[in-house]
Amino acid sequence: MRPWPGNPYPLGATYDGMGTNFALFSEAAERVELCLFDASGAEERVRLDEVDGFVHHGYLLGVGPGQRYGYRVHGTYDPASGRRCNPNKLLIDPYAKAVSHTTDWSESMFGYRFDAPDQRNDDDSAGYVPYSLVVSPYFDWGNDRAPKTPYHETVIYEAHVKGMTQNHPFIPDELRGTYAGLAHPVIIEHLTKLGVTAIELLPVHQFLSDHGLTEHGLTNYWGYNTIGFFAPHDAYAATSEPGGQVQEFRGMVRALHEAGIEVILDVVYNHTAEGNHLGPTISMRGIDNEAYYRLVDDQPRYYMDYTGTGNSLNVRHPHTLQLIMDSLRYWVTEMHVDGFRFDLASALAREFYDVDRLSTFFDMVQQDPIVSQVKLIAEPWDVGPGGYQVGNFPPLWTEWNGKYRDTVRDFWRGEPATLGEFASRITGSSDLYQDDGRRPYASINFITAHDGFTLNDLVSYNEKHNEANGEGGRDGADDNRSWNCGVEGPTDDPATLRLRARQRRNLLATMLLSQGVPMILHGDELGRTQQGNNNVYCQDNELSWMDWKLASANHDLVEFTAALTAFRKAHPVFRRRRFFQGKPIRRGDGLQDIGWFTPSGEEMKEQNWDDAFGRSILVFLNGEGIADRDQRGERVVDDSFLLAFNAHHEEMPMTLPGPDYGKRWQVVIDTASGVVTEPGAEDATTVSAGWSLTLVPRSFVVLQRLVEEDVQR
* Cβ atoms < 10 Å from Cβ of 31: 16
Three-state SS annotation for 620-682: EECHHHCCCECCCCCECCCCCEEEEEECCCCCEEEECCCCCCCCEEEEEEECCCCEECCCCCC
The predicted-structure confidence for 640-669, as pLDDT tens digits, reads as follows: 999 999 999 999 999 999 999 999 999 999
Q: What are phi and psi of 430, to 5 degrees?
A: -60, -25
The predicted-structure confidence for 15-37, as pLDDT tens digits, reads as follows: 999 999 999 999 999 999 999 99
Q: Which CATH class for the 401-570 domain?
A: alpha beta
pLDDT for the residue numbered 41: 92
Please pick, among 248, 262, 288, 379, the residue that the annotation labels catalytic. Answer: 379
- Residues belonging to the chain: 713
**Three-state DSSP state, 463:** coil
Residue ranges of alpha helices (H) inside 488-618 are: 494-512, 550-553, 555-570, 606-609
What integer is the mean pLDDT of 393-420? 94
Architecture of the domain spanning 579-706: Sandwich (2.60)
Return the half-sphere exposure (C-beta side, CA atoms, 13 A cut-off) of residue 239.
16
Q: Please, which pLDDT band fits residue 492 given cuts at 50, 70 and 90?
A: very high
Q: What are phi and psi of 152, to 5 degrees?
A: -70, -10
The predicted-structure confidence for 333-387, as pLDDT tens digits, reads as follows: 999 999 999 999 888 887 655 666 658 899 999 999 999 999 999 999 887 888 8
pLDDT for the residue numbered 611: 79
**Three-state DSSP state, 585:** coil
Output the CA angle 173-248-70, nearest 5 degrees.
110
Say if strands 517-521 and 156-159 run parallel, antiparallel, or are unpaired. parallel
pLDDT at 269 over 80: yes
pLDDT for the residue numbered 711: 47
Cα distance between residue 310 and residue 381, in whole Å: 17
What integer is the mean pLDDT of 180-194? 98
Give me the sign of the Cα torsion angle 335, 207, 182, 372.
Answer: negative
pLDDT at 457 over 50: yes
pLDDT at 588 over 70: no
- C-alpha pair distances (Å), 244 with each of 180, 219, 225, 378: 11, 23, 22, 30
What integer is the mean pLDDT of 615-638? 89
401-570 matches 579-706 in fold: no
The predicted-structure confidence for 69-106, as pLDDT tens digits, reads as follows: 999 999 999 999 999 999 999 999 999 999 997 678 99
Q: Tell which wins on pLDDT, 327 or 607.
A: 327
Q: Hey, what amino acid is at 555?
A: H
pLDDT for the residue numbered 619: 98
pLDDT at 709 over 60: no
Cα distance between residue 580 and residue 576, in whole Å: 9
The predicted-structure confidence for 276-317, as pLDDT tens digits, reads as follows: 999 999 999 999 999 999 999 999 999 999 989 999 999 989
Prediction pTM value: 0.96
Please pick, among 43, 234, 248, 343, the residue that the annotation labels catalytic. Answer: 343
CATH, domain range 12-134: 2.60.40.10
Cα distance between residue 285 and residue 71, in whole Å: 12
Cα distance between residue 423 and residue 503, in whole Å: 19
| 134-148, 626-640, 654-668, 693-707, range with the lowest pLDDT | 626-640
Sequence-separated (6 or more) residues with CB below 8 Å from residue 670: 677, 685, 699, 700, 701, 702
379 is catalytic: yes
pLDDT for the residue numbered 358: 57
Domain boundaries, the chain: 12-134, 401-570, 579-706
Judge if the upstream peptide bond of residue 10 is cis by omega within 30 degrees of 0.
yes
Cα distance between residue 680 and residue 631, in whole Å: 30
Cα distance between residue 90 and residue 45, in whole Å: 11
343 is catalytic: yes
* Cβ atoms < 10 Å from Cβ of 674: 17
Cα distance between residue 378 and residue 355, in whole Å: 13
Within 510-593, strands assigned E span: 517-521
Cα distance between residue 498 and residue 505, in whole Å: 11
Give me the torsion for CA of 589, 591, 592, 595, rounded to 10°. -120
Return the half-sphere exposure (C-beta side, CA atoms, 13 A cut-off) of residue 190.
23
Average confidence score pLDDT of the chain:
94
What integer is the mean pLDDT of 405-423? 94
pLDDT for the residue numbered 707: 84
